[in-house]
Amino acid sequence: MSLPFPFCYLTLIGFSRLVEIFIDWIYTQKIPTASLNWVEAENDTDSTIYTDDLGAQVLSAKALNFAKRFLAKEYQQIVRNSHVNFNIDAAPGYELVIYAFANFPSTDSFLTFLVDTHCKNWAEALDFNEDGEEGTETKLRSQLPNDFLIRVMTRYNKLRGDPSLEVLNRCSYHEHATKKEKKECEKESRVEDSSTDESDDE
């Protein structure tokens, strides 16, 4: 199957890892399910070489933005929902926050997901290296978007008034093709999120 011209062109000028993941999805209907599979880019000189979970977060967000720009609705949905599922219990890295707030519309609920998961999962120690020294995250603090910081402040204020808001329902951040699909997702998410909360309490 030949690829549309825009994708062939992008492969030549850059974004090769993003296009590679997209092409794999076209043929297999699957996307990477582990951080290392997202960031296999050791020979990719056109983009940052990602080597950890934070890097995979960024590449996943770029894949989502790629899907939006090329109106690949089905691909957009699977990338978005996969990102939510794998990162709902993780604080978003600052490189991801900076990228997302610069490239997604302010009304996009993906930004809300980043704010909510930050408030739920972030701890100051995450910004430092294992030895307690300043790391990449610490240095990126000054570059965090003002909009993100204001949303975080507002979210923390709401959590003080209603701690139950800390329990996140992944379905509310998913994209759904039909109402039936959304209802099924709501049921599945309630089971998955409740089991996650129970394990966190142990």
Taking only the tens place, the pLDDT of each residue in 73-116 is 999 998 999 899 889 999 999 999 999 999 999 999 999 999 99
| Mean pLDDT of all residues belonging to the chain | 80
pLDDT at 127 over 80: yes
pLDDT at 201: 53
| Highest mean pLDDT (candidates 2-16, 35-49, 164-178) | 164-178
pLDDT at 39: 52
**Of 98 and 185, which is predicted with more confidence?**
98
pLDDT at 1 over 50: no
What SS3 class is residue 117?
Answer: helix
Q: What's the alpha-carbon Rg for the chain, to the nearest Å?
A: 18
Full-model pTM: 0.78
pLDDT at 37 over 70: no
Asked whether the beta carbons of 14 and 45 are under 8 A apart, the reply is no
CA distances from 101 to 62, 104, 143 (A): 12, 6, 11
Could you give phi then psi for residue 39, rounded to 5 degrees?
A: -105, 20
**Of 119 and 27, which is predicted with more confidence?**
119
pLDDT at 144 over 80: yes
Using a 10 angstrom Cβ sphere, with 0-12 exposed, 13-18 middle and 19 or more buried, the burial of residue 137 is middle
**Of 157 and 47, which is predicted with more confidence?**
157
pLDDT at 151: 97
CA distance 166 to 120: 6
Instruction: Tell me the H-state helices in the chain.
Output: 5-13, 16-28, 35-38, 53-69, 73-87, 94-103, 109-121, 136-140, 146-161, 179-201
pLDDT at 199: 52
pLDDT at 35: 54
